[in-house]
């Protein structure tokens, strides 16, 4: 892996292959290794870039006391600039999908394309009245859970709550994928876990009405219904959007169904206008 030195931290990233830039942003509490099936598939034809977002993976802790989706997007912009990548195709999962949405809002026609896996616009995935989030904030309870159970235990509790609500396995239908995700979460310090959660919870999504970038939204069959609804909203709002659902998969759709995810990604990339 390589390092991008910033004023308030060091972002770790990895590049593979040569060709048009294809940049992957992982989900919350995971790391760039979550994209291994896609790196293996596309590195022969693209310059594939993965990164570990602040608080995650090799990047780990950075100086700010507070994180935000906007800050994560600043980092993505800095990385694209440092690598001199023009008109990249951006692929984000969950938290990563928020980062890509923020980038598209800032640069409505600068990316060649966007793929949003497990796409979500807010946490929780419903519109709440202004001020209600801070009034009913789960952060105090989260801090208590982190102090008692740590990152992995807290994440397990979150998964149990989602599963009880949806009646689905949600995160992943593959025990190996689920176990690998839990291991990644367990490596994150509690302080960083809270900062990441706070960034997700406080995010105010952009309207996306001016986005011209071709956008593909992909959800797993066992994704939470409210998240699927937000994904359909994204696909319907941007100028050129499409939404697909993959059977036999959960939130980590790119790992549950890597061959199917890679196939629809390849088809999407082939249909993008030539630079």
pLDDT digits (tens, 9 = 90+) for 146-177: 999 999 999 999 999 998 888 888 999 999 99
The pTM score is: 0.96
User: pLDDT-based confidence at 275, cuts 50/70/90?
Assistant: low
Residue 130 pLDDT exceeds 90: no
- pLDDT of 166 reads 83
3-state secondary structure labels for all residues of 26-82: CCCCCCHHHHHHHHHHHCCCCEEEEEECCCCCCCCCCCCCCCCHHHHHHHHHHHHHH
Q: Which domains does the chain have, with CATH numbers?
A: 2-271 (3.40.50.1820)
Q: Which of 183, 207, 30 is nearest to 105 (CA)?
A: 207
Mean pLDDT score, 222-229: 95
Mean pLDDT score, 85-98: 98
């Amino acid at each position: 892996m390589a390092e991008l030195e910033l004023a308030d931290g060091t972002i770790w990233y990895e590049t593979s292959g040569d060709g048009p830039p294809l940049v992957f942003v992982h989900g919350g509490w995971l790391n760039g290794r979550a994209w291994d099936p896609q790196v293996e598939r596309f590195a022969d034809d693209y310059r594939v870039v993965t990164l570990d977002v602040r608080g995650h993976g090799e990047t780990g802790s950075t100086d700010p006391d507070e994180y935000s989706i906007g800050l994560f997007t600043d980092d993505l912009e800095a990385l694209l600039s440092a690598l001199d990548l023009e008109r990249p195709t951006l692929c984000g999962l969950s938290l990563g999908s928020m980062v890509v949405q923020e980038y598209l809002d800032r640069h409505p026609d600068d990316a060649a394309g966007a793929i949003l896996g497990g796409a979500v616009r807010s946490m929780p995935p419903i519109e709440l009245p202004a001020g209600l989030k801070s009034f009913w904030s789960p952060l105090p309870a989260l801090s208590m859970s982190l102090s008692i159970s740590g990152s992995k235990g807290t994440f397990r509790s979150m998964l149990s709550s989602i599963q009880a609500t949806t009646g689905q396995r949600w995160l992943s239908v593959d025990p190996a994928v689920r176990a690998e995700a839990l291991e990644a979460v367990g490596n994150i310090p509690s302080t960083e876990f809270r900062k990441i959660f706070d960034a997700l919870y406080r995010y105010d999504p952009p309207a996306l009405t001016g986005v011209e970038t071709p956008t593909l939204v992909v959800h797993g069959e066992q994704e939470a219904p409210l998240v699927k609804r937000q994904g359909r909203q994204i696909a319907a709002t941007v100028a050129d959007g499409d939404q697909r659902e993959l059977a036999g998969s959960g939130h980590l759709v790119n790992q549950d169904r890597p061959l199917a995810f890679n196939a629809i990604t390849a088809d999407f990339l082939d249909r993008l206008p030539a630079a």
